[in-house]
Structure 1
Amino acid sequence: MSKPVKNIFTEGAISPAFIAESIAKHSSKKDIGAHSIFLGQVRADIIEDKTVSAIEYTTYDDLALQKMHELREEIFAKYELTCMHVHHSLGEVKTGEICLFVFTSSKHRKTAINACEEVVERIKADLPVWGKEIFEDESHQWKINK
């Protein structure tokens, strides 16, 4: 039986306190031997002599959440995970702040690491989430994922 569709979106930056709480909650789960965590942070890229000060993320919620649900099901079918958590920012996230938090747990490290890496790559490739780079001079352009 498949699990319900989870809302992965957070308005604004993902706080360090939220990340710490998420990690701490897993100390009671005694069957976990490894966690793998990916934190995506907004960079102050310089593009054509202009510095990025923030990224504004937008999405088609229903489509993105359905795609993430399908991805989640595929990852759980492929890897022996205890749990997986994904949080992605919407709205404006300033440089230096966290915009993506992926957290996988399993009995063994390689499983957690491989699953986490695949989830991040597939989110970047498959999820309909777009980022508008906002420059210090308040001009903007759509971000190209690399």
Structure 2
Amino acid sequence: MTQRTSIKITSEILSLQDCTNFVEDDSCGGIVTFVGTVRDSTKNKTVTLLDFSGYEPMALKEMQKIANIILEKFPIHKIAIHHAVGELKIGAIPVIIAVSSAHRKAAFEACELAIDTLKDTVPIWKKEHFEDGEVWVNSHP
């Protein structure tokens, strides 16, 4: 059987095309992607960059666990979950999730569950940098 998941944590630039290429298949009528981008402001403050760090061995296990849950819960063909670490400037992509399925509804629901679960369970932390300081957005590493 072909590999149905692509899980990746990297300090390199993430590629939406790589994720889409991985999940696409002639049997699938829908591919849904989520692309998280670094925005320039939050809570009335100007963001200069985000710094992502994490406990990679555990993060990879948790990301695979999410993919496995998605494969069991929804009739999807493949899923890719890729996350960047390191300093990311405005407009950069810290996370991409791509899901393919025969029908769109399963792909949409699977993609939404994947990003929501990733944000809740994967040990990757985000520090927001502002012109006047920095703050951890979620639990400290």
Between the two proteins, the alignment pairs up a number of residues equal to: 138
- Report the CA distance shift for 1:99/1:81 in structure 2 as closer, same or farther (over 3 A): same
- Structure 2 gap segments, 5+ residues each: none
Secondary structure of the structure 2 residue equivalent to 1:98:
coil
CA distance, structure 1, for counterparts of residue 36 and residue 50 of structure 2:
12
- Structure 1 gap segments, 5+ residues each: none
The residue identity in structure 2 corresponding to 1:35 is I
TM-score, normalisation: structure 2:
0.85
The answer for the alignment partner of 2:101 in structure 1 is: 106
Deviation at 1:136, TM superposition (A): 3.0
Deviation at 1:24, TM superposition (A): 4.6
The answer for the alignment partner of 1:69 in structure 2 is: 64
Deviation at 1:45, TM superposition (A): 1.5
Deviation at 1:23, TM superposition (A): 2.6
CA RMSD in angstroms, aligned pairs only: 2.6
TM-score, normalisation: structure 1:
0.82
Structure 1 outlier segments of 4+, above 3 Å: 24-27
The answer for the alignment partner of 1:92 in structure 2 is: 87
- Report the CA distance shift for 1:33/1:143 in structure 2 as closer, same or farther (over 3 A): same
CA distance, structure 2, for counterparts of residue 13 and residue 143 of structure 1:
22
CA distance, structure 2, for counterparts of residue 37 and residue 24 of structure 1:
12
Alignment deviations for residues 44-97 of structure 1 (CA, whole Å, 9 cap, x no partner): 1145x6411110000011111111111111110111111000111100111111
Q: How does 1:3-82 map to 2 (within 5 A)?
A: 7-14=7-14, 18-24=15-21, 29-47=25-43, 50-82=45-77
Contact 1:86–1:100 at 8 Å: present in 2 too? Answer: yes
- Report the CA distance shift for 1:103/1:13 in structure 2 as closer, same or farther (over 3 A): same
